[in-house]
Amino acid sequence: MRNDWSGQAFPHPSGRRPIAGDALGADSAAPLQSTMERAAGLGPIFELKIFDQKFVFVSGAELAAELADESRFAKALSPALVALREFAGEGLFTAYNDETSWSLAHDLLRPAFTKDAMRRYHPIMLAAAQELFDVWDAHDGPVDVSADMTRLTMETISRTAFSTDFGSFSREEPHPFIPAMIAALKAGQRKGMLASMPGAGLMAKRIDKRNAHHQAYVDRLLDDIIVARRASEDDDDHDLLGIMLNTPHPETGARLDDVNIRHQILTFLVAGHETTSGALSFALHYLTRDPALLARAHEEVDRILGTDPDAEPAFEQVAKFRFLRRVLDEGLRLWPTAPAFTRSPRETTTLSTGHIMRPEDWAIVVLPLVHRDPAVWGDDADEFDPDRFLPERSRGRAAHTYKPFGTGERSCIGRQFALHEAVLVLARLLHRYDLSANPAYELRIAERLTLMPVGFELGLTRRTPADVPGTLEEDQAGPSDTCPASSIDQAGLKATSHGCPSGSQK
Ligand code: HEM
């Protein structure tokens, strides 16, 4: 984890101390937001020294675009991701670039993210959203947006990817897997943060001891899912689990082993839900604090979906919600929910700033800073304005300066999945409900692995056809399929029916 950049120094915040370095000004509960504050005036590249560990951060869009050049640079694992390997092993997110399990899993799983695959997931996504709406309809008072979006995206990824139902909408409390997974993740994260402090080894042992039962529970449950699928008649590749268990690599014939499959399941459950629920929650926050934007969003969904507030978008319609997509894009500009990634050069190179960077050096690209660089986004870069993403305004913007889904071959495999799900959920939700936020609410953001609004509540009022101005157009919704979540109970989870052939009913 050394990262000494051959002794080169970068600007750093004032107040550095002899042993702790810049640690005293850092907020351990909100490290990203405190780093953003401390970056002011330090230029496009700066450093923080936390005890013995030097962290180099990139905040300038031009330099971030340079680091996106795949011929010169590649993904590196920051200390936080290295710590996460104890939990997610060689899963896609935490694998080193040269681990053969990465290319094997990447090649095998890519087909699970094609347009055809999205078409299969579409009814499952709709069914999960409907279950959340049923819960809301039976609920009095405002709802906690981030918590409910997280339940929804967790169910969606577990049902689509592993045909497993966590029962999030029928339980009072979350499935025990969820707090155990969060506790195990937090343990990894804390170890990553403490790694550079004196006595880190001892503290790590304590954390491991406290976390052991969570980790064991998570591992056991995931192994049970694998065993149950193997024991079932179900041996085709309709979901990620089926692909991993049944499909050899088309050229080499290699297969993933069971430990790797467990790590991939965990990776997809973690990477595939909080990121999307955060994106949805930020989008809803910005929409509901501006009546003009909210009215434009309602106008779009009403025009496309028609007068029935319960109409479900057909697969092809999802791409037509252009304004909603711009709202999501703009939310991910200001608050990219996976807020950073790390880059190293393939060979020793000189950056445009004049700094020499060797393969053992790494720099963290801080996306919320890169995405607010006035050189690209203007002096109003801190303002929420979805029209920045109108084609005529996007045209001519410097390449590789907007990177919420990462960059290069290690960028997000789930991008289309996330965007399809998020647009679909926003469209359904805005079409079905009038939304009211507390005007006194000030955005507060919790930092785990991802960013998420906290304390953000919405009042929901069911709309009726009379609330929807009748502007039916030819692209209004046709009937769409929804997929029944069903059957085989095991370990408190349900294996859902899958594939949802067209014509399946709610
Ligand atoms: C708005 C939602 C999402 C955002 C903002 C997001 C962001 C990112 C980013 C920035 C990376 C690159 C990380 C790095 O370079 O270290 C990444 C990688 C990844 N994402 Fe996403 N993600 C989202 C949704 C999803 C979903 C829904 C899935 C799964 C269905 C997913 C699965 C993954 C995986 C497996 C990787 C690792 C890819 C690799 O290295 O081969 N993500 N994501």
Write out pLDDT tens, residues 409-421.
Answer: 999 999 999 999 9
**Residue of the CA atom closest to atom 14 of ligand 1:** 341
pLDDT tens digits for range 169-217: 988 787 888 888 888 888 877 777 777 677 778 888 888 888 888 888 9
Nearest to 162 by CA among 498, 486, 414: 498
pLDDT tens digits for range 419-471: 999 999 999 999 999 999 999 999 999 998 899 999 999 999 999 988 887 65
Highest mean pLDDT among 48-52, 218-222, 226-230, 389-393: 389-393
The neighbouring-strand residues paired with 460 are 435
CB neighbour burial string for 311-323, b if at least 16 within 10 angstroms, e if fewer = bbbbbebbebbeb
Distance 464 CA to ligand 1 centre (A): 37
Domain ranges of the chain: 5-96+336-376
* 396 vs 490, more confident: 396
- List, edge to edge, every strand of the sheet that includes 340-345: 45-50, 53-58, 363-366, 340-345, 73-75
Nearest to 485 by CA among 180, 168, 241: 168
pLDDT band for position 138 (50/70/90)?
very high
Nearest to 235 by CA among 163, 140, 138: 163
Atom of ligand 1 nearest to the CA of 160: 30
Q: What is the torsional sign of CA 334, 338, 344, 345?
A: negative
| DSSP secondary structure of 379-443 | TTTTS--GGGGSHHHHTTSPTT---TT--GGGS-TTHHHHHHHHHHHHHHHHHHEEEEE-TT---
The HSE-up count of residue 246 (CA atoms within 13 Å, CB side) is 15
Contact 428, 312 (CB under 8 A): yes
The HSE-up count of residue 275 (CA atoms within 13 Å, CB side) is 24
How many Å is the maximal CA-CA distance in the chain? 69
Distance 142 CA to ligand 1 centre (A): 31
Q: Is the CB of 408 under 6 A from ligand 1?
A: no
C-alpha triplet 407, 376, 37: angle, nearest 5°: 80
Position 473 pLDDT exceeds 60: no
Atom of ligand 1 nearest to the CA of 328: 1
Position 100 pLDDT exceeds 60: yes
Distance 186 CA to ligand 1 centre (A): 19
**Residue of the CA atom closest to atom 40 of ligand 1:** 410
Contact 242, 264 (CB under 8 A): no
**Residue of the CA atom closest to atom 31 of ligand 1:** 414
How far is 499 from 260, CA to CA, in rounded Å?
25
Query: What does the pLDDT read at residue 425?
Result: 98
pLDDT band for position 476 (50/70/90)?
very low
pLDDT tens digits for range 307-358: 999 999 999 999 999 999 999 999 999 999 999 999 999 999 999 999 999 9
Span 5-96+336-376: which CATH code? 3.30.43.20
Query: What does the pLDDT read at residue 470?
Result: 63
Distance 295 CA to ligand 1 centre (A): 31
Distance 413 CA to ligand 1 centre (A): 6
Residue with tokens 């139902």: 165
Pocket test for ligand 1, best of 99, 107, 160, 275 (most atoms within 8 A of CB): 275
| Mean pLDDT value across residues 237-266 | 92
Residue 67 amino acid letter:
L
| Mean pLDDT value across residues 120-132 | 97
**Residue of the CA atom closest to atom 18 of ligand 1:** 412
pLDDT band for position 105 (50/70/90)?
very high
